[in-house]
Structure 1
Amino acid sequence: MTRSKKLASARKDILAVAIGGALGTALRILLDILLSLVFFTMSLVSIMTINAIGALLLGFLVAGIWTRKSTPQWMKLAVGPGVLGGFTTFSGVMLQALLVQNPWATAGYLALSIGTSLFAALLGFWLGTPFAWKRATRKVAK
């Protein structure tokens, strides 16, 4: 691959991540507002819910659709680091943990938040596995 083709490909990848990140951030803000209305501004719950949804979707995509050869690289970058990277927020979890101001409650919130996201990612991985690209098995004639 020539240098100009590599540069064009890199630009396309960066643009995909940037646009996806802007979209994911907008979706997170919208969902945070909606969840805050439901839970009466209890952003601890909304941030944990948002991160769990993002982890579930990422696990599903990584285990399933992204294993297909037909899925373009720019799309993986736009949706993964882009949309889902902008959608989820680890820094939001850290900020909420600092605002709790009780060491035991902070530890509990961090454990619950991280545990919920890990469980959601594993669930997404499990749910996405049936959608994975399956390699055709050939029977060897004896």
Structure 2
Amino acid sequence: MPLALAAFLGGVLGTGLRLATDLVFPHADAGFPAGTLGVNVLGALMLGWLVGGLWTRPGIPRWLKVALGPGLLGSFTTFSAVTVSLVEQSSAGLWGLAGLYLLATLALGFGAAAFGLWAGSRLAHRPIPVEIPDDGSTL
């Protein structure tokens, strides 16, 4: 499967899942965006799990890595939604809420990614990768 097609198909699925999440967990413009936080934390967890586990296994096709990583999870999680929420909160003068949201996003996101790496490496029975090679073998 061509990599661009894999990324496209994964992106369509991820975007649909993201839209469904926003419909199930709507929030006011200046409210706490729990749905966006949940999506981004779940995406960080899943990407960590994939990188720590599935992607370290030999024989995983490159198209599947592209479909799941940049495609599905890249469109499911959105940095732009975090930024929009922060701008809306700060524009409404809700600086404390904006700071709390930013702190929660960073702490929970990094924590979820680290846990995902750990869990993925445990499931793959391999140590956590110290360095990800940049020779294209991970994607």
What band does the TM-score fall into relative to the shorter chain?
Answer: 0.7 to 0.9
Matched, 1:33 2:4: no
Percent identity reads 37
Whole-Å separation in 2 of the counterparts to 1:53 and 1:44: 14
Give every structure 1 segment of 4 or more consecutive aligned residues whose post-TM-superposition deviation is greater than 4 Å. 40-43
Structure number having the greater helix percentage:
1
Shift of 1:43: 5.9
Which residue matches 2:6? 16
Which residue matches 1:67? 56
Which residue matches 1:114? 106
Which residue matches 1:4? none
Q: Is 1:32–1:43's contact at 8 Å kept on the other side of the alignment?
A: no
Q: Is 1:58–1:80's contact at 8 Å kept on the other side of the alignment?
A: yes
- Aligned length in residues: 122
Q: What is the identity, as a one-letter code, of the residue corresponding to 2:39? A: I
Which residue matches 1:5? none
The CA deviation string for residues 94-135 of structure 1, in whole angstroms up to 9 with x for no partner, is 00011112334322211111211111111111111123265x
Q: Is 1:63–1:129's contact at 8 Å kept on the other side of the alignment?
A: yes
Which residues of structure 1 form unaligned runs of 5+?
Answer: 1-8, 135-142
Q: What is the identity, as a one-letter code, of the residue corresponding to 1:113? A: T
Which residue matches 1:95? 84
1:129 to 104, 118, 121: 121
Q: Is 1:65–1:133's contact at 8 Å kept on the other side of the alignment?
A: no
Q: Is 2:14–2:75's contact at 8 Å kept on the other side of the alignment?
A: yes
- The two structures, once aligned, show a CA RMSD in angstroms of 2.0
Larger radius of gyration: 1
Which residues of structure 2 form unaligned runs of 5+?
Answer: 127-139
- SS state of the match for residue 70, structure 2? helix
Shift of 1:65: 0.7
Which residue matches 2:135? none
TM (norm. structure 2) is: 0.80
